[in-house]
Amino acid sequence: MCPSKVADGAQRGWIVPIGGAEDKESDMRVLRRFFELCGGKGAEIAVIPTASRLNETGGRYEQIFGGMGARNVNVLDFDTRRDAHERNRIARIEQSSGIFITGGNQLRLSTILGGTPVAQAIRACNAHGIPVGGTSAGAGILSEHMIAGGESESATPHANGVRLAPGLGLTNRVVIDQHFRQRDRLGRLLAALACNPFAIGLGVDEDTAAFIGPDNTLEVEGSGAVTVVDADGLQFSSMAQVGGDAPVCMLGVQLHVLTAGATFNLETRRAAAGTLSTVKE
């Protein structure tokens, strides 16, 4: 699945995967930066809490963005695929200046929204310059290949260590895993890349986000780190030779750990210290 085509002279909107458990009470660095990208005080933000089974999830983000000064926050919950065909709800997405997808179960997102007019509207909005962010499950679905489940709490990739499903396809350059350090998901992300070495793995810690700009450069914000796993130089993978719980041999994988201010260019595959670098006077 390729991202929606960007019109000549236009720029794609920011894509903001958040690792979950972002600060919602004190300085709210991650959410506040997303809010500013959406237009700040004049923002019209659509919140999609479909992944969550908790009734209060959408209202929590409505309160947060409203408290920051958003002009309007529309909570649009889709419980069935029929809901995702309702024209009035789709219109609210199309009229928004930012779209935010909450956490929960990412398979609820893919099975309810996948291939619907709502998914098409989100893709089209992002192609027309609208920022789209998501936290936890909402982060995982932003890319073409979504991690739908699999083995966690292991640094070693295993043959059956990951399950993949189609995501929204806002970008086909990355595959995203969330709660990364907190749930020790390096092995799961490596297994996903063993299946698809083209993609770049982003392991996003809690209270941390990768702000991916229109130029495909990501910058890290938040209190944790984004682990970038680049399999472009993969020399060998045993994924096709093993099965079950067997560990997978992977040679030539490159890894970067980026904290707030550091950057990674998804086109050149180059990491940089960004604002962390110091200049001698």
| Distance, CA of 11 to CA of 128 (rounded, Å) | 7
Q: Which residues are part of the catalytic machinery?
A: 136, 179, 206
- How many CB atoms neighbour CB 275 within 10 A? 12
| Distance, CA of 80 to CA of 130 (rounded, Å) | 25
Sole residue written with tokens 């944790």: 224
Query: Could you tell me the end-to-end alpha-carbon distance of the chain, in angstroms, rounded to an integer?
Result: 48
| Distance, CA of 133 to CA of 198 (rounded, Å) | 23
- How many CB atoms neighbour CB 117 within 10 A? 16
Residue 239 in tokens: 């994924």
| Distance, CA of 92 to CA of 133 (rounded, Å) | 16
Sole residue written with tokens 């998914």: 119
Q: What is the DSSP string of 160-226?
A: TS-EEEE---SBSSEEEE-STTTTT-HHHHHHHHHH-TTSEEEEE-TTEEEEE-TTSEEEEEESSEE
DSSP state at residue 143: B
AA identity, residue 252: G
